[in-house]
Structure 1
Amino acid sequence: MNNHFQYQRIKRDTVVYSLVFILFMVVLAKAFDVQIVQSSFLQNEGNKRQIRTMTIPAPRGEIYDRNGNLLALSTPIDSIWVDPKILSYYLDPVQQQQNAIKEHLSVKDVQKQQAQISQDVKRYKEMLRILGLDEKNITQTLLAKKNKRFLYIKRSVLPPVTRQVENLDVPGVFIQNQYKRYYPAGEILGHVVGFTNIDDKGISGIEKAYDKWLTGQQGKKEVIKDRAGRVVDFVKDLVPAKPGHSITLSIDKDIQFFLYHALKKAYIRHQAKSVQSVILDAKTGEILGMATIPSFNPNNRSQLQGSRLRNRVITDVFEPGSPAKPFIISKALDLGLIKLDTIIDTSPGAMWIQGQRITDTSDHGKLTPQGIIEKSSNIGASKVAFKMTPDQEWQMLNGVGFGQDLGIYLPGESIGYMKSPVEWQKIDQASASFGYGFNINLLQLARAYTIFANHGVLEPVSILKLTSKQLTERLKKTEKTKAYGIKNGNEKDIGLDTNYSATEVHRVISAKTADEVLAMMQTVVSPEGTAKKARIPGYTVAGKTGTVHKTKVGGYHQNEYFSVFVGLVPASNPKYVMATVVNEPSRGVYYGGLVAAPIFKEVMQDVLRIKNVPPDQTPTSHKEER
């Protein structure tokens, strides 16, 4: 009997040990399959559920002025977004109840879960308080979009605030690192630099014109996220982020400062609709200052709307008026149709042309070409224009760049309009001689006056600072054109090309004529001229005033004006050209010499001082004219 029981026990043990061994082998085989055979497959499958590719934001390139001052830079900024599908669960009791039933949770488990949810909701409310968001509106939005996976709740959040949100560790809340554009000069350079939208894309000014160049290349990296979507580990960089390229503008921040504040004072003083001005380097065509009032602060998004965004120096066109007269005199002199001592009879101060009455401010009698410019005689300019053909007059205006693209690529540029000379009648020829019948923008007018600073050569304008190589090449081209001159009163003798590019240096008139007309324009700023208030003690100034009636449908407004002044200083060897327009001055004074010319003086006397430009005449004391 004992032997029988002993045998049964051994048999039973053998079966048990066999089963244990078999089970062990099964587990071992499974482990081998998982760890060795299917290792790569399972790892990839796991990675798909945990490893995510994240973008690394790249900052835009900086924008500098010609002296290296920062005008635009990118600062780290964050956006807070949520996964409504995750976060809505903590805010919706119905979802919580359904989950408890589905998971067969006990009463104790439900109570424990509710305690945790209560803490999460408390942190959620604290987050909204930190972000300054309305709890009711955000919660309603989250519940309405509970099946969505992405929703911004706050953008442009400063890093210190972001850190507070991160420390709260609210489920379903994520941080998106970004950059925000900051403009140190604010509204002083708002129109030139422009601004970006909330997604850091250029919308206006340089930011838009050179958006592709300034935009950085985003990088990519792999990270491991937990079930709640939080990044718990870094895997590797896939593509490094590359910052955008920087840009150096031709703008001089110091000159821009003086220009902006002088325009703002004039805007208030004359209760004008707008005031705009531009300052060029007379020798290179570089834009040193360009401002429009009213302006805007690109750092304040509440201001980024409406007409104040227009850079009126390039977007608004107007009939230039009397500042066109020096070009007509120049052409007639170049063609040999008049001489410096030619007498033009402007009496009695009015004349009729094709039923249209043209007048001067008074009867100026007999005038020389210098007198026509000094007294700003419409009659004198018209009679000089009649000495040439419409085509010759048109070629001069076209030759200085009126009605042409300036090649600076700033958004919103209007090139103006000037009809073909074959359509001109006699009244068109007369009107064009004193700046009516065609329109231009202010930058075109300022650029045209560079011919008087460069002995008849027109320089292209640039909003970017020219490199040493570019300046050398431009100087060579300028010097080459100086080898030519008008012969025998016939421009064909020097082969003038009327199909030139606006970005190319070219000669418009002879050096002799340009210098003669520059001298004539100095009389405009004399005590007998129309721009006495543009005089700067110690410096010779040349320029031309304009008081232009604004157009309306079918004619002109009788009491609405553009007050215009274009000046060059020092006139003995011009370094700066400044053109200014005051749109609708409404305080009873509207003449260009009384409204726009004083702005020139205020700005340029500061510019000449800070740039250490030596005086070119013996300082004399001038009484302030009224």
Structure 2
Amino acid sequence: MWTWQIQRSQIVFGLLILGFVVLAGRAFYVQVVWSDFLETEGNKRQVRTLDVPAPRGHILDRHGAVLALSTPLASIWVDPKVFSQHPDAIKKLAQELGQSELDLLQRIKSNDTRRFLFIKRSILPEIANQIESLGLPGVYAKPEYKRYYPSADTTAHLVGYTDIDDKGQDGIEYIYDGWLTGKPGRQQIIKDLEGRVVEFVKNIEEAEPGKDLVLSVDKDIQYFAQRALKEARVKHQAVAASMVVLDAKTGEVLALVNEPGFNPNNRAQIKGEAIRNRAIASLIEPGSTIKPFVMAQALELGLVKPGEIINTAPGYMNVQGHMISDAVNYGRLKPSEIIQKSSNVGIANIARRMKPEQQWELFRQLGFAQDLGLFLPGESMGYLRHHSEWMQVDQVSSSFGYGFNINLMQLAHAYTIFANEGRLLPLSLLKLDQVPDSKQVVSPEAAQQVLTMLESVTHQGGTGTEARIEGYRVAGKTGTVHKTRAGQYQQNEYSAMFVGLVPASRPDMVVAVMVDKPSRGVYGGGSVAAPVFQEVMRHALRLRNVDPDGAL
């Protein structure tokens, strides 16, 4: 009996020891041999990598004013497969977001096999945090950024806008998207069984904000341009209006404005004709604003002398069965008077002295029907037939701006030759540190002679007197062009234009204005477009601290 008790004790003790050995072995196996495997499996269920959004770079005007910035927001998304199993959570989320519970339930049910579904985009971070704090199963907040434009519609056509995912869609936002876009970061976090973040582990990669971009544009000039265009469009009941302001000495774009416009902060407005950048997208026959270029080329080639008298009587002429006429019979005119009074007959007589290829080559050197080099979306280059296809009437009509088309920016660009001794500057949307290289189009002498003629346009007897600015000498040219429809010129539909340089003694800015289809009885470029130039430049000269040069 005693022996059996000893044996039983030894057996129990041995079994206990064996149990401890097995447990120790298991513990060793789990903690040492299987540790990496188990840790990996645990991490799969709890450790997550979280993308950290990066803001886009700021877009600034030439003086550092912010035109576009990224504001932190958040979006609410759900895992429909999990969320659909919790009716109470659906009710609470609908209440927090101010949505219909029935609509939300239907959305979830129709996507119940998915694992990701946005419920509401671009909400305030504090609202997202409040929703996250409710601990609703399958509901998550995703931090993100939304673009905001402080100048709203004032700079919309130039700066552009982004989509809901913060990708550039138009304007500067689109063409410099790669520069402005930041590099997202990554964080390692631990989530609980409900998917809530319970611990931050480490930064795997820091988010890098996008790079800032400094534009050539002046926000304040943009403002005055937009205000003046809007007033002119309303006053004359016009379909649209556009304005381009260039730095005459550098080719920088100081302003680009279109009316009607849109507010890029309101996505409901980003549609239709409102987003059309008419200054580069709408093609126009430039009309009489072309005459100074033809005059400059004729002076350059020695085909006309500054003091020469040209007979325009009886105020009309017939070219291959087509009638070319002036508003009145101006009779005998000097070249300067042809520009001042905008005589079609006078400039036609001068153009006929020129070979077609000489006139065509001038237009090509001015950049007509060619890419501007700005890369703005929607640009239309225009159309200019080769001189080999011209008849005499084509050459004559093109001398006063008919028979080919360009955009308003191309027209403003071409006028920089009169501010730079005959040289054409490349355009820039970015602020420049130095004057870029230019190409010689006409001689300095010819450019200066025509600049003097352009100044006479704003003097008594000229067509652009309403462009005059007190204290400053103004040079410019008016244009009034019949609109076309179905290939036919419309007798009662016009585009009114004015292109000006100020101050005329040392041009600081080149400005082109176009008002499309004014419809209240006044339609001339001198009456409709020139006052817009005057209003905007009156402020712009002050903003740029340009000293008066003593206007008559």
TM-score, normalising length: structure 1: 0.87
Query: Matches of 2:527 and 2:270 in 1, distance apart?
Result: 33
Residue of structure 1 in register with 2:471 after alignment: 538
1:161 is aligned to 2:127:
yes
- Alpha-carbon distance, 1:124 to partner: 4.2
Secondary structure at the aligned position of 1:223 is classed as strand
1:421 is aligned to 2:387:
yes
The answer to whether the 8 A contact 2:244-2:512 is kept is yes
Q: State the identity %.
A: 52
Unaligned segments of structure 1, at least 5 residues: 92-120, 478-504, 621-626
Query: Matches of 2:539 and 2:527 in 1, distance apart?
Result: 19
- Alpha-carbon distance, 1:127 to partner: 2.9
Q: Which amino acid aligns with 1:373?
A: I
Residue of structure 2 in register with 1:485 after alignment: none
Residue of structure 2 in register with 1:13 after alignment: 9
Residue of structure 2 in register with 1:356 after alignment: 322
Q: Which amino acid aligns with 1:7?
A: T
1:333 is aligned to 2:266:
no
Q: Which amino acid aligns with 1:570?
A: P
The answer to whether the 8 A contact 2:90-2:105 is kept is no
Residue of structure 1 in register with 2:397 after alignment: 431
Residue in structure 2 matching 1:457, options 423, 426, 432: 423
* Per-residue CA distance 1:417-468 (angstroms, 9 max, x = gap): 101111111010011100001100101100111111111111111111112x
- Alpha-carbon distance, 1:52 to partner: 1.5
Residue of structure 2 in register with 1:254 after alignment: 220
The answer to whether the 8 A contact 1:127-1:168 is kept is no
1:596 is aligned to 2:508:
no
Residue of structure 2 in register with 1:577 after alignment: 510
Secondary structure at the aligned position of 1:523 is classed as helix
Residue of structure 1 in register with 2:41 after alignment: 45
Residue of structure 1 in register with 2:74 after alignment: 78
- Alpha-carbon distance, 1:548 to partner: 0.3
Question: Which is higher, the Rg of structure 1 or of structure 2?
Answer: 1
Residue in structure 2 matching 1:562, options 488, 491, 495: 495
1:280 is aligned to 2:276:
no
- Alpha-carbon distance, 1:200 to partner: 0.6
Residue in structure 1 matching 2:117, options 151, 176, 188: 151
Secondary structure at the aligned position of 2:370 is classed as coil
Query: Matches of 2:302 and 2:152 in 1, distance apart?
Result: 51
Which deviates further from its counterpart, 548-557 or 584-593? 548-557
Structure 1 segments (4+ residues) deviating >3 Å: none
Secondary structure at the aligned position of 1:245 is classed as coil
TM-score, normalising length: structure 2: 0.98
Secondary structure at the aligned position of 1:405 is classed as coil
Residue in structure 1 matching 2:367, options 395, 398, 401: 401
Residue in structure 2 matching 1:549, options 460, 482, 488: 482
Which deviates further from its counterpart, 263-272 or 218-227? 218-227
Alignment of 1:112-191 (within 5 A): 121=88, 124-191=90-157
Query: Matches of 2:111 and 2:470 in 1, distance apart?
Result: 71
Which deviates further from its counterpart, 218-227 or 310-319? 218-227
1:605 is aligned to 2:533:
no
* Per-residue CA distance 1:325-350 (angstroms, 9 max, x = gap): 00011100100011011121111111
Query: Matches of 1:318 and 1:383 in 2, distance apart?
Result: 24
- Alpha-carbon distance, 1:396 to partner: 1.3
Which deviates further from its counterpart, 382-391 or 42-51? 42-51
Residue of structure 2 in register with 1:27 after alignment: 23
| Number of aligned residues | 552
Query: Matches of 1:526 and 1:289 in 2, distance apart?
Result: 27
Query: Matches of 2:96 and 2:241 in 1, distance apart?
Result: 43
Residue of structure 1 in register with 2:205 after alignment: 239
Q: Which amino acid aligns with 2:530?
A: A
Secondary structure at the aligned position of 2:86 is classed as helix
Alignment of 1:500-511 (within 5 A): 505-511=438-444
1:204 is aligned to 2:170:
yes
RMSD: 1.2
Query: Matches of 1:399 and 1:21 in 2, distance apart?
Result: 100
Q: Which amino acid aligns with 2:461?
A: E
Alignment of 1:294-373 (within 5 A): 294-373=260-339
Residue of structure 2 in register with 1:227 after alignment: 193
- Alpha-carbon distance, 1:401 to partner: 1.2
Query: Matches of 2:549 and 2:111 in 1, distance apart?
Result: 73
- Alpha-carbon distance, 1:254 to partner: 1.1
